[in-house]
Structure 1
Amino acid sequence: MDKRKTLYLIDGSSYIFRAFFGVRQQLSTSKGFPTNALYGFINMIQKVIRDEKPDYLVVAFDSPEKTFRHELYTEYKANRDAPPEELAQQFPFFEPLVEAYGLSSLRRPGFEADDIIGTLAKKGEQAGLEVSIVSGDKDMMQLISPNVHMLDTMKNKKFVDADVIEKFGVGPGQVIEVMGLMGDSSDHIPGVAGVGPKTAAELIQKFGSIKSLYERIDEVEKKKVKEKLERDKDNALMSRELVTININMDIEFKLDDMKLRKFDNAQLRKMFEEFEFTSFIDGLEDAVSEPGKVDTLVVDRPVVDRSEYETILTEESLDRLLKNLVKKKTFAFDMETTSKRPVWARAVGISFSFEEGKACYLPLTHRYLGVPSQLGLEIVFERLKPILENEHIKKCGHNIKYDLIVLANEGV
C-alpha cells in the first residue's frame, strides 16, 4: 500500500503568542524594535519543515474582525487583555515571513484559525491525506481521527485518540459535549457553573451528549448537579456551540496551492537584515533555494537532547520536581516575568534544572491562545518556599539578583 501524503496545518496565531512568551530573551534590534516573537516563530516554522518534511502545508491565522461566536455570545473572549505592545509591533511581519518561506497562509473574516484548520483537516482526510494539526490548543482535540492527529512541537508530543480520552475522559467526537458543560475560562465560555472536567466527563460518559443529558435530566442522581444543570441549560447549549470548530467553511481545497514553494531568498535576507537576525543571514550565504529545504538556512548548532525536558502542569509532576530539588541539593533556576524592572515584576513561570540533560518549566500565569491549565500561583510558591529559602540547598542562575527580587515580590 502506498504511504499517504502528508498535510500539515499550522495554527499560526497560536504559534505567534507561544513564540512571544516562549523566547525568554528580550530580543530587539539596535533601534529598539522587539523581535523575540519573530525569532521564535521562524524557528518553529523551520522545525516543522525540517523535521516533519510535509508534502503540503498551510499556516492559518485568526482574523482581527469579530467572529460568528461573538454574534452568538457578546462576552466571548471578553476576558482577554490586549496583546503586549512589544508583540503588537511584530504582527505585520508574520504573514510576509510565511510568504517568503514559500508557504501558503489563510485567514477569513468572521472565522478563527481553528475553523480554517478544521475545514482543511476534513477535506484533507477525505482526499486521502495524513493530516497533522500543529497546535497546542486543547480545542483541536475534537478534530482527531484515525488519519488526523495533533502535533505540539514545543512539547515534541503527538496526540491521538488515546490522548484525548486521557485528557477529557471521552473520545474526540464527544470533546465538545464535555467542554460545553465545563466551559473554558481562557475563552470566557461559561458552561455550567460548578461543573468541572471530572463531573462533565462522567455525565457525557453516561448520557452521550448534552442533548441526551437534558432529555433524561431526571436520571441525574446528584441533586446539586441536577440543579446546576437545570439552572444553566441555556449556557450549556450555547457553550457547546461556541467550542464547536466549524469544519464546513467555504474554502477551495487545491493541493497545488499547498505545496511548499521555493524560498524567496532576497526577501528573507531583507527581513533578516531589518530584524538583525545575524545567524539567519549567515545561513543564507550558501543556501540553495529548494522547495521546503530549510536545513541550508539554519546555522549548525550542537544537538540538544530534549527527551527529558518536561512542562509541570499537574500536582503529581510538581511533587516529583520538589523531591528532586531536595534530593539533589543543588539546582539552577530562571524566571519568566512580567517586566524588565524587578521591583515591578511578577512571576509568569520558572524553569529548573537539577541534572545534566534534565530540565523542566513550571508555567504559572501564562495567558495566550490555547494556554494549558496551570497550577495556582499561591499554591506553587507555598510548596516552593521552604526549598528556595533553605540555605543548605544551593541555587544557581544567571542574573540571579533579578530573580531574588522577583521572588521577594512573591513572598519568598
Structure 2
Amino acid sequence: MMDISSFKYIANNQARKIETEHLSVPFMDQEVIGKVRSFHKRFPEYQVTPLHSLKALSRRLNVQNIWIKDESYRFGLNAFKVLGGSYAVGKYLANKLGMDISDLSFEILKSREMKERLGEITFVTATDGNHGRGIAWAASQLGQKSVVFMPKGSSNIRLNNIKKEGAEASITDLNYDDAVKLAKHYADENNGVLVQDSSWDGYEEIPTWIMQGYCTLIDETLEQIEIEGSEWPTHVFLQAGVGSFAASVLGYLITKMGKNRPITTIVEPNEAACIYKSVEVNDGNPHAVTGFMPTIMAGLACGEPSTVAWGLLRDYADMYISCPDYVSAKAMRMLGNPLPGDPRVISGESGAVGLGVLSLIREEQVLHQIASQLHINADSRILIISTEGDTDPEGYRNIVWDGMYPSF
C-alpha cells in the first residue's frame, strides 16, 4: 500500500483573482526573451532540445497530452542550468565592457582583444552539480577561472565533471545555503564574481540574469508545440529549489499568455520545501528550511527561497506540492521504461518529479481531489520539463535498475 501521508499540497485560490487586464513581469518582457534566445543561438553547441509527446502514457492517465521537454541534451552538459549561468556571465561581461549583450556572442567574448580588455576574472558559485558545471564550462570557454563549492553529500561524479570543465571545485561539510555563504565570502575576499541563482537583499541583479537565461528552454518549447500543430499547454508542473527556474518559466508564461497561461503547480521534495513552507506560513514573506536536506533530488535541496523568484511564485502559481523521494524515483523508472510507442527518456532525480506527481494524482484515488482542484481531465495538455539527465549515473542506476525508493 502506498504511503501518501507525506504528500502535501496547498492550493492558491487567489492566483487568478489579483490580476489586471495587462499582466507583466518587468524582468521578462518580449525584448529580454529575444535577447536571451539570440545569445544562446550563437553558441556553436546550440541545438533545440527534444520535446517528447507521451501519447501512450497520456491515454493511461486519461489526459489529452503529456509533453516532456528533455534538457539532458543541453550543450552536452546533461542539464539545463548552463542556460542561466552562461547568460549571466555574458551579461556581466557585456556590462563590464560597456556593451549591449545583443552585440556580443561567446565567439566575440573569447577573442584575444576582449580577453585583454577584460583581464582575468574568477567566477565563483555554490552548487549541487549542474549549475556549477555550467559556470565552469562558461568560464573555461572564455579563458577565465572558476571556483565551485558543493554541499555535503554531493556526488563525486558531479564534482569530477565540474573539475573536468577546468574549475577549482570541492565538496564542503555545509548544507547548500551555507555553501552559498561560503562562496560569497570567497568571492568577496578574492575579488571574484559570485554567480548564484539564490538571491537576497542587495544581491539580485545576477540572479535575475540567470532567471532570464532559463527562458530559452520554454521559448523553444512553445515554438515546438506550435510546429507540431498542437494547442499550448493547459497545465505545467515546475520543480523548485530556490525557485529561480520555476519563476523564470512562470514569468515567461505570464508575459506570453497572461490570464490564459497554464495552470501552474510548484513541486518540491519534502526535505527542502522552502516555497511550500513560505506559502504555508502565509505572511507574504519567504521562509527558510534549515539543516541538512537528505533528498535524492539534489538539485532541489535548497533551503532559502530566492527573493527575486518568491513574489512571482507566491502570487501567480496555482498550487504548491511537497512530496517524498519515491515520487521522483517512480517517474524516473516510468520514463526509462516507457509504455509501447512512447520514447525512452533518461531523467534524473530533480528532472522527473513533475511527472511523478502527475501520475500519482491521476492514479491514486486518495489524491484525486488534487487533480480536481487543478482541473485536470481528459482535455488537459500537460507540460513537464525534465531539467536533467543522469547527472549521477550511479545514483540513476540504483533507482532504475535496483529499485531504490520504491513506491510501495
Normalised by the size of structure 2, how large is the TM-score? Answer: 0.25
Normalised by the size of structure 1, how large is the TM-score? Answer: 0.25
Q: Which one has the largest radius of gyration?
A: 1
Which structure has the higher relative contact order (CA within 8 Å, separation 6+)?
A: 2
